[in-house]
Amino acid sequence: MTAAGAADGGSAVEIAAAVAAGDRSAVEIVDAHLARIAAGDGEIHAFNTVVADRARERAAAVDRAVAAGEPVGPLAGVPVALKDNFCTRGVPTTCSSRILDGWVPPYDATAVERLEAAGAVVVGKTNLDEFAMGSSTENSAFGPTRNPLDVTRVPGGSSGGSAAAVAADFAVLGFGSDTGGSIRQPAALCGVVGLKPTYGAVSRYGLVAFASSLDQIGPFARSVADAALAYDTVAGHDPRDSTSLPDGHRPTVERLTDGVEGLRVGVVSEMTAPELRADRGGAFEPAVIDRCHRAADVLADAGAKVDEVSIPTAVAGLAAYYMIAPAEASSNLARYDGVRYGARQPGANTAAMMTASRTAGFGDEVKRRIMLGTYALSAGYYDAFYGKAQRIRTLMIREFDRVYQQYDVLLSPTSPCVAFPFGAKADPLTMYYNDVCTIPSNLTGHPAISVPFGTGEAGLPVGVQVLGPKLSEGELMRVAAALEAAAAAGGADPTGEDTP
């Protein structure tokens, strides 16, 4: 089910170069992906909407531009899957929620504009946990996405559809949003690369808001080089997003071959300690922790200076997140009231109509988070929950900033476990714990990448997370590229060495 050997195969880098040179046709490449979607997505359900005609038209326009000798962008003819919370002009955007039934955005997100300007071809909008709230896509109003590597298991979430689309080669690149791990965790569970950039590095104009101080757009790819190219294409200041960083974008593609010699790498104790292992009473699959230590060894062998580092506030991240994110969500989702967008239920007066529309339109997880946020922000509880969480957030930022004076990057597992079976984490709190390693980067605003590194239970992929300070995406790519190369050479899964 992967690109290997397919006539239309290849990386985004290769496809774009071949299309731009006139050696390959964008239409043929897109058609081959659409055919794979038609054949396979009935089972996987990566997509909510496939835009076959639109994709063929765009691909034909790329081919015409090449034939006419006009310049085409760095992603010419590359099929891309977009999470269905990116606004796309003329194409339904559902957030996998009933409440947006029938709504068609009148504008494109900046990220979509930039991708299409670069010659990328959008093939469809992918499934997600409703409003990006979840870690498995089981909270989608349209049914879950299945993991292409094992269809009895979840692809992770919330951007599970984009991760699955890339893993199944329905698209060469995918895009998602990451509020607490929603790019990195599904990337880990589907065995692909996923980047959560620095907060504000990629414009969120046109991304449906979940928790505005945490949300960030980023790419999925089957290689680190493709992830770097995808990130470089969408990153950079956008005056239409007031949270967009003015600092300017630092290109990452040229950093891929820099190596890790001399790089200072810290392995986060709070996410790798022996007592976290399930075989010692903890909640982490032992193989996940083993792969992370193995990754550290690989980097040390390549000349990096590797050490253990303790970040005590990291353990408070989960709690702080589940006060802050629902609070912001309860405010952001107040706009869905049956007046301006999507589905309306009848009511005798305005309040009754709004209540009926929201009650019918939102699923259980969204209702839980709205209520949690409403409660955490209510008089008498504000200081104990939201206020305290915001102060913890300050402490975390200070602590990570201090650690990054001594380390260039940090290592941790991406997810405590490999892809899990459907229904295995039906209790909300059990599901929330899946984001324990990814949440800190959202609270601090720092970037982090998940790169496949070896396997765990049932031979399923493990993701190792590389974290870095503000705008360190170039360093993350260097490290991820080194780990990718080691894994490809068989260095991630040494036998009989580390698993007791």
Burial-class residue 197 by CB neighbours within 10 Å (0-12, 13-18, 19+). Answer: buried
Confirm or reject binding of residue 315 to other proteins (CB under 8 A): yes
Going through 64-165 in order, the beta strands assigned E by DSSP cover 79-83, 121-126
**Contact with other proteins (CB under 8 A) among 433, 455, 457, 491:** 433
3-state secondary structure 163-200: HHHHHCCCCCEEEEEECCCCCHHHHHHHCCEEEECCCC
| Distance from C-alpha of 216 to C-alpha of 218, rounded to nearest angstrom | 7
Comparing C-alpha atoms, which of 94, 132, 147 is closest to residue 215?
A: 132
Which residue among 158, 203, 223, 450 is the active-site one?
Answer: 158
Instruction: State the nearest-atom distance from the C-beta of 215 to other proteins, in Å.
Output: 11
The residue with tokens 């300017």 is: 248
Residue span binding other proteins (CB under 8 A) among the ranges 7-15, 236-244, 288-296, 487-495 = 236-244
* Number of residues lying near other proteins (CB under 8 A): 77
> Closest CB to other proteins among 276 and 292?
276
| Distance from C-alpha of 276 to C-alpha of 157, rounded to nearest angstrom | 23
Q: Is 158 one of the annotated active-site residues of the chain? A: yes
The SS3 call for residue 485 is helix
Q: Residues 95-134 vs other proteins: string with x where CB under 8 A?
A: -------xxxxxx---------------------------
Q: Residues 24-43 vs other proteins: string with x where CB under 8 A?
A: --------------------
Q: What is the dihedral of CA 437, 96, 105, 75, to 10 degrees?
A: 50
Comparing C-alpha atoms, which of 372, 413, 170, 376 is closest to residue 268?
A: 413
Confirm or reject binding of residue 309 to other proteins (CB under 8 A): no
Confirm or reject binding of residue 146 to other proteins (CB under 8 A): no
| Distance from C-alpha of 156 to C-alpha of 134, rounded to nearest angstrom | 8
Confirm or reject binding of residue 62 to other proteins (CB under 8 A): no
Q: Is 83 one of the annotated active-site residues of the chain? A: yes
The continuous run of DSSP H or E covering 49 comes out as strand 47-50
Which residue among 182, 203, 244, 450 is the active-site one?
Answer: 182
Instruction: State the nearest-atom distance from the C-beta of 399 to other proteins, in Å.
Output: 10
Confirm or reject binding of residue 319 to other proteins (CB under 8 A): yes
Residue span binding other proteins (CB under 8 A) among the ranges 35-43, 262-270, 430-438, 479-487 = 430-438
The residue with tokens 């996405």 is: 145
The residue with tokens 């996923």 is: 194
**Contact with other proteins (CB under 8 A) among 60, 273, 302, 374:** 374
Q: Is 223 one of the annotated active-site residues of the chain? A: no
Confirm or reject binding of residue 310 to other proteins (CB under 8 A): no
**Contact with other proteins (CB under 8 A) among 354, 418, 448, 462:** 354
Report, as residue numbers or ranges, the catalytic residues.
83, 158, 182
